[in-house]
Chain A
Amino acid sequence: MSQVIFFSIVATGLASGCIYALIGVTYNVMYSASRVMSFTAGQYGMVGGVVGALLIQNLSLPVWAGLLLTLVAGILLGIVTEIVGVRPVLKNLEQHLYVLSTLALALMIKQVAAVEWSTEPKPFPRVSGIDTGIWEEKYWLPVVALVVVIAGLELLNRYTLMGRAFLAISEDTFAARALGLPERNLRVTSFALAGAIGSLAGFAGGQMLLAYFDNGTMLTFYGFIPVALGGLGNNRGALVGGLALGIFQQAATFLVGGVFASVAVFLAFTFLLLARPEGLFGNSRKTRLV
């Protein structure tokens, strides 16, 4: 195969893999704080692309403002998710209720985008203004976003007490509560953070995925695969899983064509999951709700 095609596969695979990994991290951040698997993760990503395009392209805001406001949109959605979709049902140990409440919210977000934005995919503007030749912005923006998020989370966990409180809550919610940690505030903050990460993923991936209301559903699924493979709550697993998925997908597309690539991804994912329900890197640590 020619060098150009090889490069294209790797570059596209890496970029899309980074987006998937970021959505996986979004899932993990919400899960760590609440033991809840939220359906909204993919929609935050969609919102990042749509709102970004709306602000920068349609409303001609400068890029930095567009990015900032997009993150704010993600943060607000995250907070709403916690207040409306998670907090009311946490007391109830029945598994299905929180899945449904977050599903309902995800559907609402998606529908608002469909009606108010468009049901057609729209292009996403270039944002960095740097000319990088063959390695276009749409290939490296997601990578940068992933690096920033992973580094940021590491710093948070290592150097702030709040980050360590997150880890504590993630490990043992009951003990954290007994110790007097402000469990609810920390949870809301986690969801806000998740919203920001998700929308950043969508913003950085805008040129690759376009500003399209239906991206949410695709990201919900493809962003979940890294989590399933890498283990719930395991960000390193999500990173590896996401990149692997991105590359596998692109390679399959090249080798067998678009449809069969999707089938291949789905079948591979299902078989892996059936064989190892906790994920390839996950541990079978007993979790409270899921």
Chain B
Amino acid sequence: MSGMAKLSAPPGFLQRAQFTFSAWPYVLLLIAAISLPFTGANDYWILLATRMAIYTILIMGLNLVVGFAGQLALGYVGLLTIGAYTSSVLVEKLGVGVFPALVIAAVAGGAFGALLSIPALRLRTFYFAMTTMGFATIVSQIVLAWQSITGGGNGIVGPVFPAPFDAANGFYLFCLVLAAICTWTTLNLSNSRHGRSLLAVRDVEVAAAANGVNKNVLFLKTFFFSGFLSGLAGALFATLQSYITPDAFTLDLSVLFFIAILIGGRGSIIGPLLATVLLTLLPEISAPLVTWAPFLYAILLLVIVLLIPGGIAALLDVERRKPLKTGRLIIPQPVYLPSVLDNPAGAESIAMKQVELRFGQIRALDGLDIDIKPGQVHGLIGPNGSGKTTTLNVICGFGTPQQGSLWIGDRQIPFGSPSTRVSLGIARTFQTPKVVGEATVLANVMLGGTTLGTATFMESLFGMPRHRKDEKSLREHALMALRVVGLEELAAVQAERLQHSELRFMEIARALVSRPRFLLLDEPAAGLSPAEIERLGDLVKEIGRHGTGVLIVEHHSDLVFRMSDQVTVLNLGRMLAAGSPAEIKVHPEVVSAYLGV
């Protein structure tokens, strides 16, 4: 196929992008942890290390909710309590075996965790934080009151494992293995489309929806898994304590878990892991620290929030501090387009019919008809308040008109539901680039392929073959898209370090990854230099030539005239004129509309 460029051997940046995950901190930690029992350390330290491993299990799960999904779950000690008491009651009162009880306790934690996803989806940050705090308090009080089952204030015996797990060393290694597995699963998840979707929902929810992320389902699964790990940790905790009472489960503990993630760094796995180790060890250094431990945690939290919002992970990330080349040019290479947009061109158009959208008294759209044909670049211009961006938003599922209809070919598509658009072949960019700053450029672009992946949440957790295949092909595909827009050199760089114009092109790459039939660009030229605007124009024309229908909303009328096949002018929510650029440029009503005559 002409124009299909051969992918040469992966240059250095690709290797860096693939292997930004460096295993050495994890390996070192694991080695240190495994060798502990063999150093002849006394039981006190073994127990402390066991506690650390158990906290790690919970924190790895909580990390997904707090660090990745960005939810302020302050009350996770409630799930720890549920896990601990479930396993203890099952073993002690109902004679269930220890291992089945462990699993049931984890499932119980998962169930309540999933329940917490409901307020997470409905409530604002602070409100959700309060709800989880209330939850933790309630769990604690119920445990206290339900004396017949839980032993109330007197407590209950924790489950005892059979040999060799009843000895300190044995139990420690058991917990360590579980902690390692849990860390490994969350690591897998962070390098999957589910992990990237979580970050997108956290930072740029609108862009997440536009790329097909279903927030409800994602949260349900994430919260269940996170609760599962907490329940598991709770059951192990009960064994560790050998006898549990309600006042072992304080809100202070809950806050400690939460702070570990913030100090470690959101969106990181190694950060919270190291923070857990650090915070558990801290009170051991000297006696006064025990009394003042909560104060110390709070100061650490404050310092992190004010000075190093990225946490320990940010400190460890040496790559991030390496200076970037200045005077970088963005040189798109449209020759690679066929490898990216390798779906056959459709023949259907998007049609908006008689759409009316009112916000109170304001008629944003007042009976608008517009078509976006495949293979055509369609420019949409108009003075302030004419409804250009509103039109684009409605097509993309943001905003619910009171009248009118939306069609692809002869299928009507519903208003609203932005997360369905990308599977319908509609992709978009935003007026201000919406990116996950702390993720790499490559990871950001891979977000565009969220709906292309087939590996389920579970498959991603355990690194199953389908997950690995997904990731590999998506990575190559995304890299190709970056080539098309001319940003492949920056693939491994954190997105927040990019210049504004580079972010704009990156968004286009992200949109291309989903192999869209229709590409909607919202003021893509704002903030670009004249040279960059030229290149943007050429790229867009090329995209159109490959069969994708492009809608471009712009203020830069001359850019629109240069790159469009068809131009529609809006004024006051209606179509004022439509035609070729040559016709529109000289249209007297258009000039009047702009000059407010």
Q: Which residues of A are in contact with B by a Cβ distance under 8 Å?
A: 37, 84-85, 88-89, 95-97, 99-101, 103-105, 107-108, 110-112, 114-115, 217, 220-221, 224, 228, 257-260, 262-263, 266, 269-270, 273-274, 277, 290
Contact = CB atoms under 8 A, between A and B. Distances in A.
A111 B141 CA distance: 23
A97 to B, nearest CB: 6
Interface in B126-147: 126-127, 129-131, 133-135, 137-138, 141-142, 144-145
Interface stretch (B104-112, B288-296, B503-511): B288-296
A266 B123 contact: no
A17 to B, nearest CB: 18
B125 A228 contact: no
B122 A274 contact: yes
Main secondary structure of the interface of B (DSSP, over half): helix
A270 B125 contact: no
A269 to B, nearest CB: 7
A96 B70 contact: yes
B290 to A, nearest CB: 11
Interface in B142-161: 142, 144-145
Nearest to A214: B251
23 contacts: A89-B305, A95-B125, A96-B125, A97-B305, A99-B72, A99-B129, A104-B301, A104-B302, A107-B295, A107-B297, A107-B301, A108-B295, A111-B292, A112-B295, A115-B291, A228-B130, A257-B145, A259-B142, A270-B119, A273-B123, A273-B131, A277-B122, A277-B127
A1 B95 CA distance: 44
A104 B298 contact: yes
Contacts of B124: 277, 290
Most buried by A among B70, B74, B124: B124
Contacts of B119: 270, 273-274
B306 interface: yes
A260 B141 CA distance: 9
Given A103-B298, A290-B125, 13 more contacts: A84-B306, A89-B305, A99-B126, A103-B301, A104-B305, A105-B298, A107-B294, A115-B291, A217-B133, A228-B130, A259-B144, A290-B124, A290-B126
Contacts of B306: 84, 88-89, 101
Contact of A277 (B123, B141, B144, B305): B123
B309 interface: yes
A263 B130 contact: no
Contact of A100 (B130, B142, B144, B301): B301
B134 A266 contact: yes
B96 interface: no
Contacts, number: 103
B72 A96 contact: yes
Nearest to B294: A111
Contacts of A100: 262, 301, 305
Contact of B138 (A101, A115, A266): A266
B424 interface: no
B269 to A, nearest CB: 19
A107 B123 contact: no
Contacts of B305: 89, 97, 100-101, 104
A-B interface, 8 closest residue pairs, ranked by CB to CB distance from nearest: A259-B145, A107-B298, A104-B302, A37-B126, A111-B295, A104-B301, A104-B298, A108-B298
B118 interface: yes
Contacts of B142: 259, 263
B370 interface: no
Contact of A228 (B74, B127, B294): B127
Contacts of A103: 74, 255, 298, 301
A96 B124 CA distance: 11
Q: Which of A84, A111, A228 has the most CB of B within 10 A?
A: A111
Contacts of A114: 294
Nearest to A262: B141
A274 B118 contact: yes
Contacts of A108: 295, 298-299, 302
Nearest to B202: A96
B292 A266 contact: no
Contacts of A105: 298, 302
Given A217-B251, A259-B141, A262-B141, A269 B291 contact: no
A217 B137 CA distance: 10
A11 to B, nearest CB: 24
A96 to B, nearest CB: 6
B432 to A, nearest CB: 12
Contacts of B301: 100, 103-104, 107
Nearest to B118: A274
Interface-centre pick from A96, A220, A221 (highest chain B CB count, 10 A) = A96
B28 to A, nearest CB: 29
A262 B138 contact: yes
Contact of A274 (B70, B123, B135): B123
B74 to A, nearest CB: 8
Contacts of A107: 255, 294-295, 297-298, 301
Interface string B188-214: 000000000000000000000000000
Contacts of B129: 99
Contacts of B295: 107-108, 111-112, 115
Contacts of B299: 104, 108
B70 to A, nearest CB: 7
A135 to B, nearest CB: 30
Contacts of A220: 130, 133
Nearest to B252: A107
A103 to B, nearest CB: 7
A263 B123 contact: no
A29 B122 CA distance: 25
Contacts of B262: 100
Nearest to A257: B145
B294 to A, nearest CB: 5
Q: Among B122, B144, B145, B305, which residue has the most Cβ atoms of chain A within 10 A?
A: B305
Contacts of B255: 103, 107
Contacts of B134: 221, 266, 269-270
Contacts of B133: 217, 220-221
B302 A101 contact: yes
A88 B122 CA distance: 29
